[in-house]
Amino acid sequence: MAERGQSIAETVKAIAEGHLTSRQWVEHCLGRIRDNETNGSWSYVDEERALKCADELDWMRNDGSAFGSLHGCPVGVKDIIEVEGMPHGCGSTLMGEVSEVNAALVDALEAAGAVILGKTETTEFAFLNPARTKNPLSFEHTPGGSSAGSAAAVASGDVPVAIGTQTNGSVIRPASYCGVYAMKPSAGIIPRTGVFEQSPTLDQIGLFATSLEDLGLVIDVLSVHDSRDPHSIAVPRPSCFAGVKAEPPMEPNFAIFKLPYSDLQSDACTEGFREVADSLEGRVEILETPPTFGQLIEAQRTIHLTEAYHAFDAMGFIGNSQLSEVMTQMLTEARSVPRSQYEEALIIRDSLTEFFNNFFEDFDAILSPSSSGEAPPLSEGNTGNPIFCTVWTLAGLPSLNLPILQGENGLPIGLQMIGRRRDDARLLRTARWFMTALFDEGEA
């Protein structure tokens, strides 16, 4: 039941066929959460609520009136995403009020039959100050951030899927460090309503799972429209589950950019990445970065800081002593960013978007490391460098973490695969082809 190697779709099918109950699946995961408590992956778990929900789903299954694509599937939700009846912690003592309404994406999960077990730990307001979460693969190392608990909960088998958010590298980086699959779909595909707003321009939703197929299945559920979110697109979403299962019409082509920050990569990261590139032989092209790339990291930071300052100002939190030192420093720096610099940064971002609008006519996906290397030790006091995610997030492109590289200490490093905006199904199709080609893994 819910074994490693069994997909969510297969487990849901087992429930449909009566070989397993929702309650058994939920009880199994609640047991895992209790066993793994020292991981510090969860900020809140409501066992009673979860079991009651599972029982109702079992009743519906037996009654035959309705059955969802995630029927009975336990899910963890990052603690900056509102869940009705659960405290909205946001990794800060300033928050913690019980939510009265679900985030839009949580409504979508529930309508598909998912069982929300609780909230997963986040760094303070999804910024830099580390969560209490440990990397399940090595308690001396960071799980990354900001979606630390979601990555760790999936890595330790607490839940088959957990939801996170990414403003810079908060999904792909922790997935890289914890060795799980993850995807941040295109901006606009999953609505952000009910999610703590750090940066309206940059905030995006992502998720962690143990296979590409599971990612596709859950993204299809999350991909609803909500006109309260100005980024939410009012048209159909890509069919991601079908995408994972589809054969590419021809063998895909990949691009690798010579990134201006590749000197940050660890040796193992560089070597592993080169091996992957070599194995793709004629299917990969190494490209010089366009000149604008040099400005992008700074432009992202300008947008991020400026909008975050607005968010904290609106909440009345500027100068609050309950904020961490690193947060206070960041807000102080944000205050000195001139408006003109912010407006220029938005123009730079627009030119980046335009660049990528045409780029994917020649390539199916871009390859990059997901992080500079394996998870840094906790003793360094940070959650690692998000820079290998920055550009793709800034452009709103869909990106995947594939847990296939390894670092000097035997900890995982992810390979990042980036696709065309709003073509998420093709990215998953390409990734599946890639995993099969590299590892002959039909069931990646």
- Does 357 bind its own copies (CB under 8 A)? Our answer is no
Q: Which of 232, 215, 201 is nearest to 419 (CA)?
A: 215
- Does 66 bind its own copies (CB under 8 A)? Our answer is yes
**56 vs 285, beta carbon nearer its own copies:** 56
- Does 23 bind its own copies (CB under 8 A)? Our answer is no
- Does 250 bind its own copies (CB under 8 A)? Our answer is no
Residue 184, C-beta contacts closer than 8 angstroms, at least 6 positions apart: 166, 171, 172, 204, 205, 206, 393, 398, 399
Counting residues that bind its own copies (by CB under 8 A) gives 37
Please pick, from the candidates 4, 5, 38, 65, the single residue that binds its own copies as defined by CB under 8 A. Answer: 65
Query: What is the spatial distance between Cα 41 and Cα 18, in angstroms, rounded to a whole number?
Result: 31
CB of 364 to its own copies, least distance (A): 13
**In the structure encoding, which two tokens stand for residue 194, read together?**
């009910």
Query: What is the spatial distance between Cα 64 and Cα 22, in angstroms, rounded to a whole number?
Result: 14
Please pick, from the candidates 7, 21, 102, 176, the single residue that binds its own copies as defined by CB under 8 A. Answer: 102
- Does 326 bind its own copies (CB under 8 A)? Our answer is no
Stretch that binds its own copies, among 103-111, 146-154, 289-297, 336-344 (CB under 8 A): 103-111
Task: Identify whether the C-beta of residue 402 lies closer than 8 Å to the C-beta of residue 437.
Answer: no
**107 vs 441, beta carbon nearer its own copies:** 107
**233 vs 337, beta carbon nearer its own copies:** 233
Encoded one letter per residue, x for contact with its own copies by CB under 8 A and - for no contact, window 210-229 reads: -------------xxxxxx-
- Does 71 bind its own copies (CB under 8 A)? Our answer is yes
Please pick, from the candidates 15, 53, 159, 418, the single residue that binds its own copies as defined by CB under 8 A. Answer: 53
Please pick, from the candidates 135, 423, 431, 433, the single residue that binds its own copies as defined by CB under 8 A. Answer: 423
- Does 110 bind its own copies (CB under 8 A)? Our answer is yes
Distance set, CA 94 to CA 40, 87, 90, 316, 331 (Å)? 20, 12, 9, 11, 16
Cα of first residue to Cα of last residue in the chain, in angstroms, is 19
- Does 68 bind its own copies (CB under 8 A)? Our answer is yes
- Does 195 bind its own copies (CB under 8 A)? Our answer is no
- Does 73 bind its own copies (CB under 8 A)? Our answer is no
- Does 234 bind its own copies (CB under 8 A)? Our answer is yes
Please pick, from the candidates 134, 349, 422, 429, the single residue that binds its own copies as defined by CB under 8 A. Answer: 422
Q: Which of 350, 338, 390 is nearest to 368 (CA)?
A: 390
CB of 235 to its own copies, least distance (A): 6
- Does 324 bind its own copies (CB under 8 A)? Our answer is no
Please classify residue 146 by burial: count the beta carbons closer than 10 Å to its beta carbon, then call 0-12 exposed, 13-18 middle and 19+ buried.
Answer: buried
- Does 98 bind its own copies (CB under 8 A)? Our answer is no
- Does 316 bind its own copies (CB under 8 A)? Our answer is no
- Does 112 bind its own copies (CB under 8 A)? Our answer is yes
- Does 58 bind its own copies (CB under 8 A)? Our answer is no
The residues that touch its own copies, with contacts defined as CB under 8 A, are 53, 56-57, 60, 65-68, 71, 84, 101-102, 106-108, 110-113, 223-228, 232, 234-239, 420, 422-423, 425-426
